[in-house]
């Protein structure tokens, strides 16, 4: 595979998947999502049992590409949100177990990528957040659906409505991550967990993953379609366009409630 945005290290029964654009803080754009979709199919073909997802540099993934979104109309925004939802849903539905090793910023789309994974481990330096409302939009890659299921509705509303960043310890307290580790121990812990899972029966791991999703903790594709519709409506408002443009211009947005 000729990849621009990722680096894959295949191991016996498991794989390390690194977002490899540290100079861009591993921002998520259409190219990233398209490559990720291809990688997920590759992992299926190779019958990978576990995947560790992490980011190179100081960010896990610092969000979606705001510069690109600032130039989108409603239809383009809906297509972008639908693509992100489809790819992240494919992670949730994938036969392999996905382990997010959150090494730094996991904001916006980056946080949503972590949410789509089955397990999340965090560095003490990790920071989480869904800051989209500060830009005049809403989470568009599954955040409005997965975050309430993982941390509870009340906590998710605070995270999404305020757009604040939360520390690794706060993420641990909310149940978003299962472990917080010193930075130098994070990847080792995640890969050890992947190695342990790779010793299990692949079909049984998949059945366990599907059974847990059937308990009501999973997200259906129809939920992603609804989120994409709401996301696209943000770009039909003056405030939505203002928030994105203000971010690109590196200034505070002036919202007019219309």
Q: Which residues are catalytic?
A: 112, 132
| CA terminus-to-terminus distance, the chain | 46
Q: Are 171 and 128 in contact (CB under 8 A)?
A: yes
Report the relative pairing of strands 127-129 and 105-107 from DSSP bridges.
parallel
Beta bridge partners of 54: 18
């Amino acid at each position: 595979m000729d990849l621009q945005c990722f680096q894959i290290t295949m191991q016996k029964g498991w794989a390390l998947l690194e977002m490899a654009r540290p100079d861009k803080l591993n921002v998520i754009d259409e190219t990233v999502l398209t490559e990720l979709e291809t990688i997920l199919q590759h992992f299926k073909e190779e019958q990978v049992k576990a995947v560790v997802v992490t980011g190179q540099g100081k960010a896990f993934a610092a969000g979606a590409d705001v510069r690109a979104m600032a130039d989108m109309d409603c239809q383009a925004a809906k297509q972008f949100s639908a693509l992100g939802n489809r790819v992240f849903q494919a992670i949730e539905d994938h036969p392999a177990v996905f382990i997010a090793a959150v090494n730094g910023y996991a904001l916006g789309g980056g946080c949503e990528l972590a949410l789509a994974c089955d397990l999340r481990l965090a560095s003490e330096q990790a920071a989480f957040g869904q800051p989209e409302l500060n830009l005049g939009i809403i989470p568009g890659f599954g955040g409005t659906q997965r975050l309430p299921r993982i941390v509870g509705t009340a906590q998710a509303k605070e995270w999404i409505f305020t757009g604040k960043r939360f520390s690794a310890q706060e993420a641990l307290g909310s149940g978003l991550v299962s472990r917080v580790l010193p930075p130098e121990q994070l990847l080792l812990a995640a890969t050890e967990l992947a190695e342990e899972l790779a010793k299990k029966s692949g079909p049984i791991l998949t059945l366990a993953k599907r059974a847990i999703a059937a308990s009501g903790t999973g997200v259906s594709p129809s939920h992603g379609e609804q989120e994409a519709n709401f996301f696209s409506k943000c770009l039909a408002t003056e405030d939505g366009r203002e928030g994105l443009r203000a971010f690109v211009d590196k200034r505070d947005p002036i919202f007019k409630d219309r």
